[in-house]
Structure 1
């Protein structure tokens, strides 16, 4: 394990280093915002004690909101990406700094304050010259706790398409790459430890009486300038005349297809491509973001668009459905479907070979008779879809004794470990190549077709018309078996999705060997 980690850090340093820098930047901006607001609020409630129960109660309540829920609340307002992540992290960081500021000021000896008043000091002078200096050790302690917590929590930001080391963690989980997940998690832990250590050194320096007040102020000013400059660099974007943004869902095959599109666009045009992989919530977050203009292109599925986006309940034949899909997307959302890749990644139900043999399971009708004895597992959004769990259970007469929410990258492990008995699978899953996994026959013909294709903003296509001739090169190029094989290379053989995408394009004559 250690050797594999060392090799991963060495071979994927070009992937991890930018994530480390972005993780620090996101964290630092949130810390700066929370520190300014937190100390100000802490001083206010310390000077106006009647307000403290209300304000501390509100901040404590915000602190109890689950982080994923907080991010979900922010998406409709601030959109996908770093902005929402910074706001959420700032909110969570407020409580420790407000409490430490309030507690530190309240802990100042009353005799000292009375003496200052007796000498004619004003309220502002007492605050600046006595209360804050004496409360500084307590405030700094709260600041240290806030910093460590924020760096650790910043990993969740990748769920909404923000950067940082959460990208490595979340992508590792999605592609079943344990080494990538551990490498990202370990990097977060090391960053938090180093910041805690450095703040400790700074704390000792400030409290050392051998250093003059001017020296301490100079050091503080320099540190603030460095932190502000470093954090501000997150918002610096080099001027590029031609640039587009591709998004993908948290699925291995979408990572691969995203890389294919990026490679083709940058090979055949002078357009630079930025990519956000694994946006949590999939269509539910990407669709509003692309309509808003946060993204330009993403891979989507016909069935998802028809049922989840358009809320259509009727099901015409595939040719009619696609024509109506194209028409409604253009009219309602100013989005264009540029064609389909050729594979149908529909849902399926998978069990272990051992379970299939024990209960003689071959099809959904067999499963229905024993479902009351089994546990069902699926990713979160399947339970909320109109064509998801409830509709599936009703149509197939399933009565599972228990359902479990599982991340898309963990469900096969849960199945093989016996934590669940049956799971929802995608028919192009690489894990289905495992001989110990059995995909049951949909003899009830419940699941609809989900053909994958490219969705692009009309505005983007008008601005860069050359994109159309490039992206349609992927149409009808990939079948189910090929997609499953590529997924397996990433998930089981631990190949880089970019390399897998590149090899496929070269093999099919869409990219030159040297590219």
Structure 2
């Protein structure tokens, strides 16, 4: 409990920001779903066949896994809040539409006849009789949709939309159960509070409620238009993938840029998501730059060159040239360390079977139970490459990259993939098997940005290039250890490195 309250106090600013993002995503999505579903349900009342078609469509949409839906939306609308809101609206449509339609069609026919006898028009019947009678049922559908939205919105963190999912992902990534618990509890409490708030709506009149909803929607739209027409300050948005290492690097980028350029405002988006998300966001101008690795560019982001370079310098120049020609992106000078893939085992396991190299696994392939990240399983420089170059074929299972070290530590798997600078290698005293057949290419990190931005802001390029050739593998592993195990903030770790290595003054 002491750790829980300590984390709650130290992370309160980040928690409040994430809570605000989560609340905004949820409320906006709910209002859009209400505006779509309720009028649609009213329109199909006289058309039972059409109503049944819409019920089937909204039901099918709800069966689409949320991650799959987000993945399908990314190529169409990019990443960030827009695909998150669209997916949340999709999941909210069914309960609102279904309850509205059911509430309006199950009204006592005698009341409908009485309204007609009084000479009411279709609109008057709807406004004065049908909607007030169906209101409790409609509100029940809205509450169901709200709870569903708040729970699903935690996945928005995977595509850079923020929210409480950021805490959950960070907790899993850093093996920090307290952060995961805080994110989950905050999400659950938000759902409970808002659900009770909506429950109280049934005690107010329908007309004021509808007017309030309309005012909120129109006010939000007007504010959005105002923000669009207002001149926006020039900003540099730096994003990072999930994990401590990208967060450390982007904090270094920010410190260097802001120290050299008083007129530049830098916004950080840590834990923005997977490689494909950031690459898409960069090309769509949703972010300005992010740290990427040479091997990742050649293996997954550009067409693979027919003749592959083998030296670190050659691999960097191939990656730089390919990403420039294909996507008009500029790849700045790389860091020193090589954060390549690695196969990792427990020290006791390595000692028992005399394991030093990856090829040594051949003699115990029938005893191997490997847990690999899904991306590693599917990469030519991952398990597929191991099968081809080493002739190995053993039992594997896919698991989250954040959980694989914990599974290895607990003995649930005996081999896993990792990166050479992972802090868990030191934390759990693990052994990295030597890549004796040179499968894994060099992975040196460097800032990747749009060429237009690099040309327009050469001063930013100069600031970032101060890291060229800096940071050893030992340095990065130690910094990851400080963040993941010692729980020092990534910003502080990054700043301390820059000051210690005379890349920055001591002020902060």
Do the two structures share a fold, i.e. TM-score over 0.5?
Answer: yes
User: Which secondary structure does the structure 1 equivalent of 2:107 belong to?
Assistant: coil
Show structure 1 runs of 5+ residues with no match: 207-212
Query: Deviation of residue 74 (structure 1)?
Result: 0.5
Is 2:4 the counterpart of 1:8?
no
- C-alpha separation in 2, matches of 1:42 and 1:468: 55
Is 2:476 the counterpart of 1:483?
yes
Query: How many pairs does the alignment contain?
Result: 503
User: Could you report, residue by residue, the CA deviation over 1:408-459 in whole angstroms, capped at 9, with x for unpaired residues?
Assistant: 2211111112222211010000111135422112222221111111111111
- C-alpha separation in 2, matches of 1:461 and 1:445: 34
Query: 1:507 matched to which residue of 2?
Result: 500
TM-score of the aligned structures, taking structure 2 as reference length: 0.94
User: Could you report, residue by residue, the CA deviation over 1:187-211 in whole angstroms, capped at 9, with x for unpaired residues?
Assistant: 11111111011112222x22xxxxx
Query: 1:331 matched to which residue of 2?
Result: 325
What RMSD, in angstroms, separates the aligned Cα atoms of the two structures?
2.1
Counterparts in 2 of 1:134 and 1:17: CA distance versus 1, 3 Å: same
Is 2:446 the counterpart of 1:447?
no
User: Could you report, residue by residue, the CA deviation over 1:339-365 in whole angstroms, capped at 9, with x for unpaired residues?
Assistant: 011110000101122322333322212
Query: 1:262 matched to which residue of 2?
Result: 254
Counterparts in 2 of 1:136 and 1:219: CA distance versus 1, 3 Å: closer
Show structure 2 runs of 5+ residues with no match: none
User: Could you report, residue by residue, the CA deviation over 1:65-92 in whole angstroms, capped at 9, with x for unpaired residues?
Assistant: 1101111001011101011111111111
User: Which secondary structure does the structure 1 equivalent of 2:447 belong to?
Assistant: strand
User: Could you report, residue by residue, the CA deviation over 1:285-334 in whole angstroms, capped at 9, with x for unpaired residues?
Assistant: 22222122122111111111112122315322323332232222222211
Is 2:106 the counterpart of 1:113?
no
Q: Is the 8 A contact 1:22 1:234 kept in 2?
A: no
Is 2:193 the counterpart of 1:190?
no
TM-score of the aligned structures, taking structure 1 as reference length: 0.93
Is 2:12 the counterpart of 1:19?
no
Query: 2:33 matched to which residue of 1?
Result: 34
Counterparts in 2 of 1:407 and 1:259: CA distance versus 1, 3 Å: same
User: Could you report, residue by residue, the CA deviation over 1:23-52 in whole angstroms, capped at 9, with x for unpaired residues?
Assistant: 111111100000110112222233311112
Is 2:467 the counterpart of 1:474?
yes
- Match for residue 264 of structure 2 among 252, 271, 274: 271
- C-alpha separation in 1, matches of 2:498 and 2:214: 48
- C-alpha separation in 1, matches of 2:171 and 2:291: 20
- C-alpha separation in 2, matches of 1:220 and 1:58: 26
For 1:290-329, list aligned pairs within 5 A: 290-312=282-304, 314-318=307-311, 319-329=313-323
Is 2:66 the counterpart of 1:73?
no
Q: Is the 8 A contact 1:25 1:230 kept in 2?
A: no
- C-alpha separation in 1, matches of 2:503 and 2:420: 26
- C-alpha separation in 2, matches of 1:443 and 1:276: 38
- Match for residue 433 of structure 1 among 426, 432, 441: 426
Query: 2:387 matched to which residue of 1?
Result: 393
Query: 1:209 matched to which residue of 2?
Result: none
Query: Deviation of residue 280 (structure 1)?
Result: 2.5
- C-alpha separation in 1, matches of 2:134 and 2:158: 38
Query: Deviation of residue 491 (structure 1)?
Result: 1.0
User: Which secondary structure does the structure 2 equivalent of 1:336 belong to?
Assistant: strand
Q: Is the 8 A contact 2:295 2:315 kept in 1?
A: no
For 1:56-71, list aligned pairs within 5 A: 56-71=55-70
Counterparts in 2 of 1:234 and 1:489: CA distance versus 1, 3 Å: farther
